[in-house]
Structure 1
Amino acid sequence: MDKSIKNKSIFKKFLAIILAFGPGIFAIGYTIGTGSVTSMIVAGSTYGMQLLWVLLISCLFSGLLMYVYGNYALITGETALYAFKRHIKGGHILAILIIIGISFGQWNSLMGILGISANIIYEIFAIYFPNVVGYKYETVLIVAIVVIATMYAFLMVGKYTFFEKILVIFVTIMGLSFIVSLFMVYPLPMEVVQGLVPSIPKVEGGQMMVAAFVGTTMAAATFLSRPLFVQGKGWTIKNRGQQKRDAITAAILVFIISGSVMAVASGALFHQGLPVTEVLDMVNTLEPIAGKFALTLFFFGTLSAGLSSIFPCLLIAPILLADYQSGELDTNSRQFRIITAIACLFALIVPVFGANPIEMQIVSQVFNVFVLPIVIIGIMLLINNKGIMKGHKTNILINIGLLAAFFFSCLMSYNGVVALFDYF
């Protein structure tokens, strides 16, 4: 066989595998945005691999919750908040609190994500067009407006399959960029092993970083939106095995990609005593250590992470509201267009006021942990109701795992409250 034909066939197979990825691609898009990347970079550069254990536990529970929520949708045909409202006493109040809590957290994240993405594009422009250096604020703001307007235009296409394909492209670029960077800059193996032993950095901001890790990796939005994305994919009860594999694969990829980001920051910056607090810090500190190629790859990955997160963050409020109202998402409705337009304007707050997007991003991730206990207890009540589950009994190991996730989320919520009081 001709070598070029063989290479084409390998590339086609690789592309087919990526495009065959299910709703898990939205889980990766939600989870690994610039919020996650920022948290991993700041943690890796400040604490080394010390918080790897938090990432591992969060990914384990995240995979379990994705599976459980997806499985519930396939068995009952219902979405999450609609089921809360219908089957749980006082569930409509619970659902409204969840909508407000998650939308607040995600829209706050959106501000930081857009700010970081616009700053990264500005830094790339500054390398090739030095004249823009004196016009940082104006350039960042214009870039932010162009990016958010483009994303809004994509949303107006209004089809699940289109959203999925756009996310597949961004997530693939992001994942490959970070994993390749890891081969160029990496921590010591012993540091990785020590990072799996639970400990909280005894320094200012340590508790907030732990809460931010959980808020970004074990994001309630990921689980609540899964039933709607499972429906959008057209999966039925026959796809239970596929749904399980999709959830496991998504959780593993989140751990590998996020862990790679933390490891690159730890290997390149931690031992140099160069913690990251500004977007520009990433350029100044990574380039002399990692080289231009690794820096470009890392920046390209971070930018892709930002763009892949803007999409799901804009979608979350209309998704949750549609879920609560009817259990069905109409992306062509007037409600969908108005809410996403408001979210776009909200996203411009950080670029307009010129705030530090990295600090804003970490603080916003902490808010995400407070909804988690409600989201976990809600699904536990649903999946253990024999009438709703149509004779499908929930495995005892699943219940033990969910109980452990509930206690972990309560601990992290308490930790988040303490961290926010210290911050403000």
Structure 2
Amino acid sequence: MEVDTPKISIFKKIIALILGFGPGIFAIGYTIGTGSVTSMIVAGSRFNMQLLWVLFLSCLFSGVLMFVYGNYALITGYTALYGFKKHLKYGKVLAVLIIIGVSFGQWNSLMGILGISSNIIFEILALNFEGLSAYQYEVVLVIAVVIIFTFYLLMLVGKYTFFEKILVLFVTLMGFSFLFSLFFVQPLSIDVVKGLIPTIPDVPGGKMLVAAFVGTTMAAATFLSRPLFVKGKGWTHKNLKQQKRDAITAAILIFMISATIMAVAAGALFYQGKEVTDVLDMANTLEPVAGKWAVVIFFFGALSAGLSSIFPCLLIAPLLIADYQSGILDTNSRQFRIITAIACLVALIGPAFNANPIEIQILSQVFNVFVLPLVILGIILMVSNKKIMKEYKTSLSVYIGMYAALFFSLVISYNGVVALLDYF
């Protein structure tokens, strides 16, 4: 019994650490969904680890912005858009543009997320029931309807702690699934080092993936929602240090999980000259080296990533509108139920029209970058106002981080415009 006690103690500590995770779990939920998984797998299969530097910068700036938005909420008591509307000269216009831009991007992402998640479940079923292959469209559509209807019912529970616990479960499963997959395949160490040197692949689709990387890992929705989730956690100005640790931890985990997914795809597909064009290609990432069970495990991680993103994507539009109106999200209101119901119907458009969910997902991530500069500019103006921030002073290093993030977002937005013009 004495030998087993330390093991039980360590296991309990790990569980307590996971369950004790704060609002940062929503940041991971927004960031690492099927959009991130798709972008990382496609990039890893096509360009090896060449875009690792984009991921690193995106996560670095995301950590800074999560920290700043969280501090702003704890010090002022305001949420993001309500504060913009109340204190900035053109704050109402800025807030409305942000609501439209972020909601459009997230609802497009939701179409891709639901499409990929439904196809993943179909492929897992098809491994065991070969006769299903002839009815792929019908089965995928039914699965999509069941998933989105189930999540809508869960949304009606309407409690922060409930959402948080479900996200903890999905994110934990996702992280362990992809880390396990990394044991089977890895990229060369030299390729990882080269990936930290800024270069853009000079091939069709290279600029598109760079924009998609930033759109999925430096998501505007993550920062805008943080004040509401920080307040939902019950934190106050006494939790500033805790909020800082939570933001840093979230940014590190986003980088580690995303880089792991890219590395798995690079190790399994790039060196064999294979590219990802549909969901089944993602399923086959590990099959050459690990067989059917590794495929199922990898799929389980991708599915967990998708399911962990559905909650945040359904929440974003009512959350931003409530933020603009009063700064308080009422998940029991009629407005909340109607908006989330509309989001559910939008999510079904992709599966209903049998659209390629991978193309939808990558395009939606590109659209997400265009609203990012407005979100960064808004918080810079807020934290620079002494009347708003009271006695709290933002450090020079944080200001440098915010302005660097603004410059980076503008460059990526321009890159996104060029990529879309080339695509269409």
TM over 0.5: yes
2:53 is equivalent to residue 81 of structure 1: no
Aligned-pair distance for 1:285? 4.7
Equivalent in the alignment of 2:29 = 29
Superposition pairs for residues 403-422 of structure 1, below 5 Å?
Answer: 403-422=403-422
Paired with 1:380 and 1:267, the residues of 2 have a C-alpha distance of 40
Paired with 1:7 and 1:418, the residues of 2 have a C-alpha distance of 54
- AA partner of residue 122 (structure 1): F
Equivalent in the alignment of 1:226 = 226
Post-superposition Cα deviations, 1:209-265, rounded to whole Å, max 9, x if no partner, equal 000000000000000000000000000000000000000000000000000000000
- AA partner of residue 77 (structure 1): G
Equivalent in the alignment of 2:330 = 330
Equivalent in the alignment of 1:267 = 267
Aligned-pair distance for 1:397? 1.0
Paired with 2:246 and 2:180, the residues of 1 have a C-alpha distance of 24
Paired with 1:412 and 1:38, the residues of 2 have a C-alpha distance of 19
Worse overlay, 296-305 or 276-285: 276-285
2:172 is equivalent to residue 156 of structure 1: no
Task: Give the TM-score normalised by structure 2.
Answer: 0.99
- AA partner of residue 163 (structure 1): F
RMSD, matched Cα: 1.0
- Answer yes or no: is the 8 Å Cα contact 1:185–1:290 preserved in 2: no
Superposition pairs for residues 308-387 of structure 1, below 5 Å?
Answer: 308-387=308-387
Aligned-pair distance for 1:289? 2.9
- AA partner of residue 333 (structure 1): S
Aligned-pair distance for 1:4? 5.3
Post-superposition Cα deviations, 1:403-422, rounded to whole Å, max 9, x if no partner, equal 10000000000000000111
- Answer yes or no: is the 8 Å Cα contact 2:286–2:298 preserved in 1: no
Which ranges of structure 2 fall in alignment gaps of 5 or more residues? none
SS of residue paired to 2:174: helix
Equivalent in the alignment of 2:105 = 105
Post-superposition Cα deviations, 1:179-213, rounded to whole Å, max 9, x if no partner, equal 12112110000000000000000000000000000
Aligned-pair distance for 1:7? 3.8
Equivalent in the alignment of 2:398 = 398
- Answer yes or no: is the 8 Å Cα contact 2:45–2:269 preserved in 1: yes
- Answer yes or no: is the 8 Å Cα contact 1:274–1:285 preserved in 2: no
Equivalent in the alignment of 2:60 = 60
- Answer yes or no: is the 8 Å Cα contact 1:174–1:302 preserved in 2: yes
Which ranges of structure 1 fall in alignment gaps of 5 or more residues? none
| Residues 210 and 182 of structure 1, relative CA distance in 2, 3 Å threshold | same
Post-superposition Cα deviations, 1:338-373, rounded to whole Å, max 9, x if no partner, equal 000000010001110001000110001000000111
Paired with 1:50 and 1:284, the residues of 2 have a C-alpha distance of 22
SS of residue paired to 1:94: helix
- AA partner of residue 158 (structure 1): G
Post-superposition Cα deviations, 1:20-48, rounded to whole Å, max 9, x if no partner, equal 00000000000000000000000000000
Aligned-pair distance for 1:3? 5.0
Aligned-pair distance for 1:328? 0.5
Superposition pairs for residues 65-214 of structure 1, below 5 Å?
Answer: 65-214=65-214
Equivalent in the alignment of 2:246 = 246
- AA partner of residue 46 (structure 1): R
Aligned-pair distance for 1:97? 0.3
Task: Give the TM-score normalised by structure 1.
Answer: 0.99
Paired with 1:169 and 1:284, the residues of 2 have a C-alpha distance of 25
